[in-house]
Structure 1
Amino acid sequence: MSSAMLELILEATLDTLYMVGISGVIAALLGVPLGVLLYVTRPGQILARPLLNQVLGMATNVGRSVPFIILMVAIIPFTRVIVGTSIGTNAAIVPLTVAAIPFVARLVEGSLNEIPPGLVEAAQSMGATPYQIITKVLLPEARGGIITGLTITVVTLVSYSAMAGAVGGGGLGDLGIRYGYNRFDPLVMLITVAILVVMVQGFQSLGDALVRRANHK
């Protein structure tokens, strides 16, 4: 394999890590608060707002129901407004983030569902405010589950980023399509798949280690 191809593989790998990293961080920053909001605004919860909860839940479900490849095409005008183009790694970050936010939100909501209601009731009986309950009870108790959800999201983003390469998103998916498939080079395709597998295993192992540490604390 030529040095030029090795450089392309390295560049594609870094592009994939860049796309997954940026979209994952933004999705976590927006998806975790959305998941908390979905939980605490339910009827009977500490900030019960049934109408708001229904609106947020509907928007989240719509975001999760659209296949990623269709989402990429559907929000091209929005992507152009944000980054000025609809192709390349920066453009791919926009649909990756949009797809990941509702995914994170539902996983966070699911983690919060596992918290015994008695903990919240005990905090309320001691005069804790909703903000204190969220920051001192809900988030610490659901920490392990939230980390697991974020790990699942990052692994999903790796596969989504490869899919984005099929429509000009850059990264390993683009490399595999252009050089592995279109040019009938099975070695490039094999290397691309191997790097994606290693990447997923690395993210999963890191997430598992963080969950063990969080649960230990």
Structure 2
Amino acid sequence: MSTIAPGLAGTTVTAAGTTGTRATLRLLLESYARSAPPRSIAVVGNAPLSPDEVRAATIDSADLVLRMTTFGLDAPGGPPTVGRRCDVVVLHRGITPSPFTFADYTGRLYLLFEQGRPFGERQPLRPWWPADLGVVPVSNYEFTRPLNDLLGLDSRERVWATAGTLATFLCTELFPAATTYLTGVSLIDEPDQTTFEHHWGDAVRVTPEHRLRTESALLKQWIADGRIRFLP
């Protein structure tokens, strides 16, 4: 596995080679979980949600909590909605960070999705990236391409899954025995949307590389099969 060196935008150094990539990533995620291996995982997307004490409690009681890019957290004393814990942040280089994205970053793991890298996307990490923060790129060969196969997408074309679906796939592949909860994902019920509303910040457009209808069908299949549990 490669790691972006802190302070050296776009530079990689070999940490564990290319063999055993999944095993190395699994151990790394376990080190940020409340138990190893985690028995429960919460993958929290950015879609707006109404207050729900049960949902918030389920997220915050999970052994491992992953959040996406420009995420929000419940305010102290505010209505319980999306919880307050965050162990792992999944992002890409083009995000607009929220006030929560890099808060307490020294105690979190940051995973970098780079699905566009085979198609020439090589932009450096943005200036807002903390100078002393390292990041772990997620292998396209190990995760993006197999997920594309499940979605029926051609990895030779510039198409790939959204961050929430890829994060869910990653967790269920690495920890198949864990209960994986998914929430804050609007595409399951709204596969024809052209913008993503966010729990925090402005809406963003659905970019051309995504196929939401196909993702929606796969996530519904995973819910029906018991691979994941959806928290509306």
Query: Higher helix proportion, which one?
Result: 1
Flag the structure with larger Rg: 1
Per chain length, whose mean CA-contact separation is higher, i.e. which structure has more relative contact order (CA < 8 Å, sep 6+)? 1
Scaled by the length of structure 2, what TM-score is found? 0.23
After TM superposition, the score normalised by the length of structure 1 is: 0.24
